[in-house]
Amino acid sequence: MYKVILIEDDPMVQEVNRQFIEQVPPFRVVGIAGNGVDGTEMVRNLQPDLVIIDIYIPLKDGIETIQTIRSEKLEVDVIAITAANDIETVRRMLQNGVFDYIMKPFKFERLKQALEHYHTFRQTLKTKEKVTQKELDSLFQLETDVRTELPKGLNDITLKKIVDFLQQQTVPVSAEEVAEGVGIARVTARRYLEYLEKERKVQLDVQYGGIGRPVNRYIKRP
């Protein structure tokens, strides 16, 4: 279990964030503070794995709170959830070692992604003495299977379904097979596959056989 302290001054936001966090195993909120002073004291006493903190909190703001935590060498990771979107605040938070920075308003899926990434990061550090460059790139999310900006007419959900389907295949598959496996039209599947091939996420395998046009088949790149 990862012990989490939530530092947020709005009671309604406290409860929403607590429910969000505890929907993602194995995270458990062990303390909630409404200001930076109480939050710092909780970190000292409860020794959590993770602090989730707002910037705009009373007595001592999020930046000052993190600076105190770092100056006291308290071994805890930090994720910021805040409405602060100015570059200076983002820069200062990153300088103080936040693991992730989530802007309000946000959806549950974004927090879930951050927590799952944190879990993967911790497990990797726990089980390995050394890491490769590729593993580090993955931990720091420098490699992704989908881009955030897609061509007009394509969407992330369908793209992810196609990528997941291709990852399960051991031999190249056609657009028709992808369409059937994902549950979309063949012409739609072809558009996504052409996009993935252009982005070098899949490899094109043109197969000739018998009379008729060659068949384009696709396989996920390693």
Residue-wise DSSP of 158-194: HHHHHHHHHHT-SS-EEHHHHHHHHTS-HHHHHHHHH
Q: For residues 29-47, give the mean pLDDT.
A: 98
Domain that holds residue 90: 2-138
For residue 222, is pLDDT > 50? yes
Q: Strands of 215-220's sheet, edge to edge?
A: 173-174, 215-220, 202-207
Domain presence at residue 21: yes
Q: Helices 62-71 and 87-95, interaxial angle, to 10°? A: 20
pLDDT of residue 143: 45
The model's pTM: 0.63
Is the same domain home to 121 and 169? Answer: no
pLDDT given at position 210:
61
* Cβ–Cβ under 8 Å, residues 117 and 102: no
Residue 146: is its pLDDT beyond 50? no
- The residue among 79, 104, 138 that closes a domain is 138
Q: Is 134 in the same domain as 164?
A: no
Rounded Cα–Cα distance for residues 11 and 51 (Å): 17
Q: Which pLDDT band, with edges at 50, 70 and 90, does 125 fall under?
A: confident
Number of domains in the chain: 2
What are 180-208's pLDDT values in tens digits?
999 999 999 999 999 999 888 899 988 87
State how far the alpha carbon of 118 is from the alpha carbons of 7, 87, 126, in Å. Answer: 18, 24, 12
Mean pLDDT, range 23-38, rounded to an integer: 97
